[in-house]
Chains A and B, each alone.
Chain A
Amino acid sequence: MKLLLKGGKVIDPANNINKIADVLIENGKITDIRENLSIDDGKTIDVTDKIVVPGLIDMHTHMREPGQEAKEDFVSGSRAAAAGGYTTIASMPNTKPVVDSSIIIKGLKQRAATDAIVNIEIIGALTKGQKGMELAEIGDMSQAGAVAFSDDGHYVQNSKVLLNGLDYLRPFDKIIISHAEETSLVEDGVMNEGKKSAMLGLNGRPTVAEDIAVMRDILLAEYADAPIHIAHISTRHAIELVRQAKQRGIKVSAEVTPHHLTMTEDMVDITDSCTKVNPPLRTTEDTDAAVTGLLDGTIDAIVTDHSPHAEEEKDKEYQYAPSGFPGLETALGVLLTDLYHTGKITLPLLIEKMTAGPAKLFKLNKGTLSKNSTADITVIDTQKEWTVDNTKFYTRGTHSPFVGRKLKGKAIMTIVSGRIIMQNGIIID
Chain B
Amino acid sequence: MVENKTASLCGKNILGLEYFSQEEIESVLQTAVEMKNIIHRDIKKVPTLRGKAIVNLFYEPSTRTRTSFELAGKYLGADVINITAGSSSIVKGESLRDTLLTIEDMGIDAIVMRHKAEGAAEYAAKIVKPVIINAGDGAHAHPSQGLLNLFTIRQYKGDFKGLKYAILGDISHSRVARSDIWGMRKMGIEVHLAGPRTLIPRFLYKEKGIFIHDHIEDAIKNADVINVLRIQTERQKSGLFPSTREYARIFGLNEQRLSLAKKDVLVMHPGPMNKGWEISPQIAYSTHSAIQEQVKNGVAVRMALLALVLTGGKHDEIIA
A residues contacting B by CB (< 8 A) are: 193-195, 197-202, 270-272, 312, 315-320
Contact = CB atoms under 8 A, between A and B. Distances in A.
B191 interface: no
User: Which has the most chain A C-beta neighbours within 10 Å: B97, B115, B125?
Assistant: B97
Nearest to B205: A195
A140 to B, nearest CB: 40
Contacts of B118: 200-202, 270, 318-319
Given A202-B118, A202-B138, A319-B138, 20 more contacts: A195-B204, A197-B201, A198-B202, A198-B204, A199-B178, A199-B204, A201-B141, A201-B174, A201-B175, A270-B118, A270-B119, A270-B123, A270-B140, A312-B95, A316-B97, A316-B123, A317-B120, A318-B117, A318-B119, A319-B119
A271 B202 contact: no
A194 B138 CA distance: 18
A312 B95 CA distance: 9
Nearest to A202: B118
Interface string B71-103: 000000000000000000000000111000000
A235 B279 CA distance: 41
B123 to A, nearest CB: 4
Contacts of B174: 201
Contact of B140 (A194, A200, A316): A200
Contacts of A320: 117
Smallest CB-CB A-B distances: 4 pairs: A201-B139, A270-B119, A198-B201, A317-B117
Contact of A270 (B96, B122, B175): B122
Contacts of A319: 117-119, 138
Interface string B112-141: 000101111011011000000000001111
A391 to B, nearest CB: 19
Contacts of A315: 97
A317 B203 contact: no
User: Which has the most chain A C-beta neighbours within 10 Å: B118, B120, B126?
Assistant: B118
A235 to B, nearest CB: 15
A193 B204 CA distance: 11
A199 B179 CA distance: 10
Nearest to A187: B238
B126 A194 contact: no
19 contacts: A193-B202, A193-B203, A198-B201, A198-B202, A198-B203, A201-B138, A201-B139, A201-B173, A201-B174, A202-B119, A270-B118, A270-B119, A270-B122, A271-B122, A271-B123, A272-B123, A316-B96, A317-B117, A317-B120
A195 B138 CA distance: 17
B114 to A, nearest CB: 13
Given A316-B96, A317-B115, A195 B203 contact: yes
Contacts of A193: 202-203
Contacts of B123: 270-272, 316-318
Nearest to A199: B178
Interface in B155-203: 173-175, 178, 201-203
B256 to A, nearest CB: 31
Contacts of A271: 119, 122-123, 125-126
Nearest to A313: B95
Nearest to B200: A198
User: Which has the most chain A C-beta neighbours within 10 Å: B115, B174, B178?
Assistant: B178
Contacts of A198: 201-204
Nearest to B177: A201
A207 to B, nearest CB: 11
User: Which has the most chain A C-beta neighbours within 10 Å: B125, B139, B204?
Assistant: B139
Nearest to B123: A271
Nearest to B140: A201
Contacts of B115: 317
A316 B204 contact: no
A269 to B, nearest CB: 8
Nearest to B171: A198
Nearest to A319: B117
User: Which has the most chain A C-beta neighbours within 10 Å: B18, B115, B202?
Assistant: B202
Contacts of B18: 199
Nearest to B173: A201
User: Which has the most chain B C-beta neighbours within 10 Å: A201, A315, A316?
Assistant: A201
Nearest to A318: B119
